[in-house]
Amino acid sequence: MPVPIKTGEVLRGRYRIRRVIGQGGMGCIYLADDQRLEGRTCALKEVEHDRTLPADLLREAREQFLREATVLARLDHPNLPKVSDFFSIASRDYLVMDYVPGKDLRALMMDARQANSFLPEEDMLAWTNQLCDALAYLHDQSPPILHRDIKPSNLKLTPSGLLKLVDFGLVKQAAPGEVTITILQGQGTALYTPLEQYGGDSGHTDVRSDVYAFGATLYHLLTNQAPADARERFLNPDALIPPRQLNPAVSSRTERALMWAMELHPDQRPASIAQFRSSILGDYNPVARPLSRSTIRSPLKPWQRQPERSLMIAGISLIVISFLATLAR
């Protein structure tokens, strides 16, 4: 693990390190003062590449970092921290972005859990709407950009009530018809990672992978209990407990939407963030059906509802005919 930079050290003659605010296997995230813009604080994400790589592969990895940092620097959305700079020092690369004040949603969930309560669903749906905006913006880029590490601790609520999706550590740029191209490589967090992402860079991920992580994140926040991970569910289909069994205050609509988003096979999930948004926020009204731990099915799509309606009408007709026949005797 890389040795953290000391407090007070200045990088690139501009960024004075205050303290470490995050740490991982590839480096640290620092809170720093921007000495060129007085009063501005920023977050520096550090990436140290594997020193055991052959020289040509190390060079390719660093060139890729610069290309991908350029992509991130072009993003501009209110629910995403703005990337303002990137640079390299010795064997380490740095990404500079806005520092986002406030608590992350994991901390808020833990506060609620300690108080023997749950985060209100009404608040959760408001935050869901904001996160949908951020992910739709990323997915609408050309080619689409995937976050790949949506989780409660990567969602920060600012004092003004604005939700920010932070940590671009695993962002990927999707190449049309191909597997995704890694931006600042990583594997994601197991509790919220779909099966297809376990393949790392060899697995095929698309926008539905973010949909799964989104659903798993909301599941955890609404129930105070982490969902069974995808590998466990593959071996034991009964492992995922429907949210309302853990928090009866969760609405049936929200439960259906979350279970749909967390389908193991990508083809069984919402095809887009827009479809997931309309499912959980009510514009899309799936047919109510009981959920069981052994079989959780996707809500019916509009074009699938006609056969079910026809069967219901036929059943009612038979009842009426039988009643009239009884009267005629």
Is 120:221 a contact under the CB 8 Å cutoff?
A: no
Q: Chunk the chain into consecutive blocks of 10 residues (it has 329) and report each block's average pLDDT, rounded to whole numbers.
A: 87 96 81 95 88 82 83 92 91 91 95 97 96 96 88 94 80 45 49 81 78 97 96 93 97 97 96 96 51 36 40 45 49
Q: What is the pLDDT of residue 107?
A: 95
**Residue-level pLDDT at 155:** 95
Q: How far apart are CA 125 and CA 92, in angstroms?
A: 39
Which own/partner pairs from 70-75 qualify as long-range (CB within 8 Å, at least 24 positions apart)?
A: 71/145, 71/173, 71/183, 72/168, 72/171, 72/183, 75/137, 75/138, 75/141, 75/145
DSSP 8-state symbol, 186? -
Q: What is the pLDDT of residue 186?
A: 45
- Where are the domains positioned within the chain? 11-98, 103-302
Residues ≥6 apart with Cβ < 8 Å to 226: 191, 220
Q: Token pair of 154, please?
A: 């990567």
The CATH number assigned to the domain with range 11-98 reads 3.30.200.20
Query: Which residues lie closer than 8 Å to 266 by C-beta, 6 or more apart?
Result: 194, 196, 206, 208, 209, 212
Task: For domain 103-302, give its CATH number from 1.10.510.10, 2.40.40.20, 3.40.140.10, 3.40.50.12780.
Answer: 1.10.510.10
Where does residue 231 fall: left (phi above 0), alpha (psi -120 to 50 degrees), or beta otherwise? alpha
For residue 251, give both structure tokens. 């609405």
List the Cα angle 258/259/261 in 5-degree steps. Answer: 65
**What is the model's pLDDT at position 25?**
66
**From the candidates 104, 149, 210, 229, which is the catalytic residue?**
149
Show Cβ contacts of residue 87 under 8 Å, excluding neighbours closer than 6 positions.
11, 12, 93, 94, 96
pLDDT for res 1: 61
Q: What is the pLDDT of residue 216?
A: 97
149 is catalytic: yes
pLDDT of res. 72: 86
Tell me the helices (H) and strands (E) count for the chain, helix number first: 9, 12
pLDDT of residue 307: 42
